[in-house]
Amino acid sequence: MQNSDEEVTFIQQFKTRSLSLPAGAVIIDEGLPSEDLYTLYSGWAFRFKTLSDGRRQILNFLLPGDFVGLQEKMADVSPHGVGAVTAVSLCRFSRIGLWELYRNHPGLGYDVTWIAANQKDVIDENLLSVGRRNATERVASLLVQLYKRVKVIGLAKGSTIDFPINQQHIADSLGLSLVHTNKTLRRLMKMGFHEISGGKLTMCNPAALERVADYYAAEERVRPLI
């Protein structure tokens, strides 16, 4: 999956400009038309949906390299929102641009589909968690999943990673209440599986956590760069 020189050049001019937003910002509003497609360059974000009474479900977390707004590009109205966890920097692609990319650089179009399919894997795993795992298994599998994803993009320092999300984020992504999420995290921590403090997560025993989670996903694969 090596990009050609020509492709790299094209990508450069294709990116119309970059964009920075502060922590907590709304990147894409639920139910609003959205014109733009982004790549997340740095920081953490998340996609979410809400019900009319305010219950919120986080669909998946977005890490550097992920797309923001691919689905929205395909619809008229965004079926979900995107929020920034930390301060984020994004690279904007123009609307015309995506179509041109497919036409002039089908190799890159293929890569786009590849990345989108990869994100779907993550969502599938989350759906399995929320639907069939109990609270302990859910928390364990989320920790393992995020750890592996961060590691693959080269941002892990040993067994420690930046971990900017709070317990409310975790609860909303696992379909649990805040209180029960806290109790479950605490129990796993006391059992020596992991540590969270100061915005860092340390995995003390990743293999054991994977066993707890019944999480046997294939290795995360290196993605094409766009």
Phi-psi label, residue 175: left if phi above 0, alpha if psi -120 to 50, beta otherwise: left
Stretch that binds its own copies, among 36-44, 81-89, 98-106, 160-168 (CB under 8 A): 98-106
Q: Which residue among 43, 64, 69, 175 contacts DNA (CB under 7 A)?
A: 175
Judged by beta carbon, residue 49 or residue 223, the one nearer DNA is 49
- 180 lines the binding site for DNA (CB under 7 A): yes
* Residue in the block written with tokens 């995360």: 220
Q: How far is 143 from 202, CA to CA, in rounded Å?
A: 10
Which residues ranging from 58 to 97 are in contact with its own copies (CB under 8 A)?
A: 59, 70-71, 73-77, 79-80
Which C-beta is closer to DNA: that of 71 or that of 182? Answer: 182
- Pick from DNA, its own copies, none: which does 166 bind, CB < 5 to 8 A by kind? DNA
Nearest CA-CA partner of 73 in 20, 125, 109, 19: 109
Is 1 among the residues that bind DNA (CB under 7 A)?
A: no
Q: Alpha-carbon distance 128 to 137, whole Å?
A: 11
**Nearest approach, Cβ of 48 to DNA (angstroms)?**
15
Site for DNA in 71-130 (CB under 7 A): none
DSSP per residue over 31-67, as a string?
TS----EEEEEES-EEEEEE-TTS-EEEEEEE-TT-E
Lookup result for tokens 């479900």 = 57
52 interacts with, out of its own copies, DNA, none, CB within 5 to 8 A per kind: its own copies
State which of residues 166, 192, 214, 221 lies at the interface with DNA (CB under 7 A).
Answer: 166
CB distance 84 to 25 below 8 Å: yes
What is the number of other CB atoms lying within 10 angstroms of the CB of residue 145?
Answer: 21
Give yes or no for residue 134 binding DNA (CB under 7 A): yes
Sign of CA dihedral 128, 130, 134, 140: positive
Interface with its own copies by CB under 8 A: which residues? 47, 49, 51-53, 55-57, 59, 70-71, 73-77, 79-80, 99, 102-104, 106-107, 109-110, 112-114, 116-121, 123-128, 130-133, 174-175, 214, 216-218, 221
Binding interface with DNA (CB under 7 A): 134-136, 166-168, 175-183, 185-186, 197-199
